Structure formats: C-alpha cells, structure tokens
Amino acid sequence: MNLQVCGHHLEITPALRDYVTGKLERITRHFDNVIDVNVILSVDKLNQKAEVTVHLAGKDVYVESVDEDLYAAIDGLVDKLERQVQKYKQKLQDHHRGNKITDHIVAESE
C-alpha cells in the first residue's frame, strides 16, 4: 500500500503522519487489495478538513470529513471509509451463487 499524506495550509508533523497511518491500518485489515492511498489534510479558518482517496482493485473510494478538531476529522473520515470499503467488499462477494430467480422458475415449470 502506497500512502501519501499532504497538507494544505498545514505542516504535516511526524505525530500527525503516524496517527493517520495507524488509523488507515484498519482499512487494510478488512480489504487486502488496497493499491494506493492519498490523504489531504487542510485548515480553513475554524474548520479542519480531512480527505482521502483510496484506490482499490477496480474502484476508487473518496471520503471527506470536516470538524473543528483535526484528529476528530480523521476519526470520522476513517469510520466513513471503513463502512464504504466493507460495503464494496460485500458487493464483490457473490452470496447467491447458483440460486438465480430464472433457475427457480424453470425448475418449477417442469
């Protein structure tokens, strides 16, 4: 997984980079096919904004979160991202293999 953390009107400290890296490890536990992660942290007067684009095998997932505290924005961002990655992972799994409606209708008519 390639991780890139950028700051817009903000200096990325090692502590902030470690915090983001630690939080994003939760995503790789759920889904192994993470190719690239781009994180942008920005400050707008009183709003702290965290954005992430995760490049998965077959899809790009974009999430943003705004809060008064940057660490709270990162926490909200990771929660949203985790839900979206789990949803995408469930879509990839074929839960109804072989039980299509047309197969059932054909079997009943015979």
DSSP letter (8 states) at residue 18: H
Chain centroid, CA 82 distance in Å = 5
pLDDT of residue 98: 55
Q: What is the second-level CATH architecture of the domain 2-109?
A: 2-Layer Sandwich (3.30)
Taking phi over 0 as left and psi of -120 to 50 as alpha, with beta for the rest, 58 belongs to left
Torsion of CA 29, 66, 68, 70, to 10 degrees: 40
Lowest-pLDDT choice from 29-33, 72-76, 87-91: 29-33
Is the predicted pLDDT of residue 109 greater than 70, yes or no?
no
3-class DSSP string for 36-94: EEEEEEEEECCEEEEEEEEEECCEEEEEEEEECCHHHHHHHHHHHHHHHHHHHHHHHCC
Mapped onto helix, strand or coil, the DSSP state of residue 24 is helix
Q: Which amino acid is at 20?
A: V
**Could you report the per-residue pLDDT of 23-49, keeping only the tens digit for each?**
998 888 877 778 899 999 999 888 999
